[in-house]
Amino acid sequence: MGTCIICGTATDGRICGSHEQDVVFEFKGTDPSLLGAGRFYRGTVDGYADFGVFVDLSPSVTGLLHRSELDQRLESLDWEPGDTVYVQVKNVRDNGNVDLSWSIRQAEREFRGSLVQDGEREREPTAVDESGDEESSEASDESSADESGDEESSETDDTSSADADGADADDADDTATVGNEPSPADTDRETAEDTSFEFGTPADGADAEEADTADAEETDTADAEEVVADDTDSVEETAADDTDADTEETVADDTDNVEETAADDADETERATIESLSDRVGETIRLEGEIADARQTSGPTVFELRDETGTVDCAAFVEAGVRAYPGIEAGETVRLDGEVEERRDEIQVETEALAALDGDDAETVEQRLAEAMRDKSRPDEVRALADHPAVDAVEERLLDAAEAIHRAVLSDRPIVVRHAATADGYVAGAAVERATLPLVRSEHPESDAEYHYFDRRPIDGSVYDMDAATNDTTRMLTDQARHDEKLPLVLLLGTGSTEESADGLGLLGVYGAERVVVDARVGDVEVADSVETTVSPPATPNAPELTTGAFAATLGATINPEVESEIAHLPAISYWEEAPAAFADLASEAGYDTDHVADLRAAMSLEAFYQQYEDKRELVADLLFDDDGDLAGHVADQFRERLDRELETASANLERHPVSGREVRVLDADAFAHRYDFPPTELLADELGRRHDEPVVVFGGDDLYVRADEDVDVRAVASAAAEEVPDGGVTAAGVREGRIEYLRGRRDAVRDAVLSAVVEG
């Protein structure tokens, strides 16, 4: 039982629960689970990532201060690597990851006290006596420093402090001379604490001892004279050490240094590549690359290392189940030395030394990896299935999108595809899926890899809203926390390209998920400026229509030319009415006549409606790629029967509204349509629009759809109606599908305002 250093009350340890956040702790442990959630700790900035700052709380424990926890923009933070900072531990995960929070207090004097947490033990920090030497505040009264100011432990014998100082100086000189190698004691400490090996620098334990030695030598002049008087042998020995000509040992050590430096330089020139390891079994080699994954087994820690030629597992062992090199995590650029072994017909490296690279060394490796990845993942050319001006205008962007998808496969990053739950949307998603899955199978031999690394998620409409974004964000963070999975590449096909999607896309961006938007129609500049890759053609007057399905089929063929013949018929299916001749010819050449294409279009429309948020991967594949016509014909018959029945009722109840000398057809879908059965209101509006020359407006409970032969600016219509009915809650909910939302209670007023805007606009 102790007393609180703040209030003096009896408590376990040195701080009571009421004042735990008034104290800043210095963590001396190696197990992150011993950190106290809610406590403030002193740390050292380790480095930056796109999503936050890594802070070392001890040589063996690193936490992440996510950018969302900062009180300012990450880019404006003026911390530099090595800076001392103060953070709060928010959470310690089961896998050892430490989540940090921002501390407004960024100086020790701003806390009411400080403590050292050494494992589970809490103690007050070391005090400094008048001579500048460290003296433990918990040392007994029998321990004291001698007149020279050197530190003397209560557990030491009566050996003179001068002899101890001389030995320390010799040890320090030996450490500095012989290649900066740590002493045996330091080696033991390093093994116990499991710190990372640093190439060309002493281990952390050696750094600490050298710092202590330097502090002990910074005595005042009087103390120095006393040391000379009391310890002549030590002074003479030090002088001898400083005289190279008189010290054979120093000459020998210098020679060793030169030889070791030369050996290091030789090692540097003999860097091995992973693809060459099968020919170097039994050799000790050096690898440089990126840690793709770090996983702890019941035995060694296994680091999956990737260089420009491939990947290899590297095993590092401290003791069974204990994390080796805890400071090394996935994504770090490293240098690794080890022996090449062959286990169960697979190459593995037995790790002898591993260190994170920084500065020019890291930049060189990163550049090498980036160039190699670009060479592997970027296609040579766009594989346009048919000539189209929209495709010609965005060839480089299509190559960028294809590269991003292939790069995600090669770097073990999951791909999440979002597309509209329509026939066109499903065709687009299926085209990219058909092209990407063979790449996934080739890269990942696991039987379930194609489900793990590729996920297609239909969405209701063309707006990637906060509901969809929150769903995706929650799933990706859960997968990251539970399975240490990388953040996905999110590919949006025919959705997400308008400004209404900005908030949802922004949420993904906060967490650093890569976003690629592909849309056959002109996208908004707000989206193009905020995501990593946007493929959207420019506005071209009188250009022929291009569907998202046709656009995505070109992307699929570009990603994987081997599937070009398998997806050549998909563009024709994506056109609701007569497809352009070039795409119709492609379908015919692939064995899909006009009737079969029409059946596939109808069948996909019906299946897109039911279970619309599910990918229905196997069913879609059966329809689009493996059907001889029977399945598509069966489902298409149901489509036509249900649509005809609904159209018969709707057509009989269309109202004619004269507006400014023109007529607008209006349908009350609440009264004269089955809103929760097939066909959906959007598809019903489409079909009514095709059958009537006049504009058609279909009203639902709190939304409406506008259809007209001429292009209608849905945002302008919504804006005009909102100005006319300011309390109607009128907004453009989906410009691609001509959808406007409003408040049900102001329906009549909104209807009149919308009809006027449609005619006059």
593, pLDDT greater than 90 = yes
Local structure of 304: helix, strand or coil: strand
Residue 463 covered by a domain: yes
Tell me the pLDDT tens digit for each residue of 474-496: 999 999 888 878 899 999 999 99
Mean pLDDT estimate for the chain: 81
Local structure of 139: helix, strand or coil: coil
Do 113 and 174 belong to one domain? no
Nearest to 665 by CA among 701, 707, 700: 707
Distance CA 634, CA 630 (A): 6
Do 545 and 465 belong to one domain? yes
Residue 701 covered by a domain: yes
Do 8 and 120 belong to one domain? yes
Residue 489 covered by a domain: yes
Please say whether the beta carbons of 290 and 305 come within 8 A. yes
Partners of 54 in the β-ladder: 47, 64
Please say whether the beta carbons of 438 and 562 come within 8 A. yes
CATH number for the domain that contains residue 32: 2.40.50.140
Which of 539, 563, 587 marks a domain boundary?
563
Do 299 and 193 belong to one domain? no
Nearest to 36 by CA among 154, 146, 110, 121: 121
- What are the tokens at 515? 């976003």
Tell me the pLDDT tens digit for each residue of 196-207: 333 333 334 434
- What are the tokens at 708? 């007209």
Q: How far is CA 45 from CA 275, 395, 429, 434, in A?
A: 35, 43, 43, 45
Do 370 and 390 belong to one domain? no
Please say whether the beta carbons of 376 and 356 come within 8 A. no
CATH number for the domain that contains residue 752: 3.10.310
- Range list of H helices, 444-563: 449-452, 466-483, 502-510, 525-528, 548-559
Instruction: State the DSSP string of 734-745.
Output: ETTTTEEE--GG
Query: Which position has the higher pLDDT, 119 or 451?
Result: 451
Distance CA 545, CA 561 (A): 24
- What are the tokens at 461? 């409409």
- What are the tokens at 187? 């080696």
Q: State the pLDDT at residue 100.
A: 94
Nearest to 274 by CA among 309, 222, 223: 309
Distance CA 57, CA 24 (A): 12
Among residues of the chain, what percentage have pLDDT more than 70?
81
By DSSP bridging, strand 415-420 and strand 346-356 are unpaired
Which of 542, 563, 584 marks a domain boundary?
563
Do 446 and 549 belong to one domain? yes
Distance CA 30, CA 57 (A): 10
Tell me the pLDDT tens digit for each residue of 630-643: 899 999 999 999 99
pTM beyond 0.75, yes or no: no
Residue 84 covered by a domain: yes
Residue 233 covered by a domain: yes
By DSSP bridging, strand 655-659 and strand 533-535 are unpaired
Residue 482 covered by a domain: yes
Section 279-301 average pLDDT: 89
The 3-class secondary structure across 510-540, one letter per residue, is: HCCCEEEEECCCCCCHHHHCCCCEEECCCCC
Q: State the pLDDT at residue 1.
A: 67
Residue 306 covered by a domain: yes
Angle of the 630-652 helix axis to the 594-609 helix axis, nearest 10: 70
Do 551 and 414 belong to one domain? yes
Do 361 and 430 belong to one domain? no
The 3-class secondary structure across 199-210, one letter per residue, is: CCCCCHHHHHHH
Q: How many CA atoms lie within 13 A of 141 on its CB side?
A: 0
Do 407 and 424 belong to one domain? yes
pLDDT band, very low/low/confident/very high, at 761 (cuts 50, 70, 90): low
Amino acid at 536: S
**Cα-based angle 343, 345, 349 (whole degrees, multiple of 5):** 40
pLDDT band, very low/low/confident/very high, at 700 (cuts 50, 70, 90): confident
CATH number for the domain that contains residue 484: 3.90.1640.30
Do 20 and 115 belong to one domain? yes
- What are the tokens at 502? 């900005």
Do 674 and 734 belong to one domain? yes
Q: State the pLDDT at residue 236.
A: 40
Partners of 88 in the β-ladder: 40, 101
Residue 629 covered by a domain: no
Distance CA 595, CA 490 (A): 35
Tell me the pLDDT tens digit for each residue of 511-535: 999 999 999 999 999 899 889 999 9
Do 178 and 307 belong to one domain? no
Which of 521, 542, 563 marks a domain boundary?
563
Range of the structural domain that residue 509 is part of: 378-563
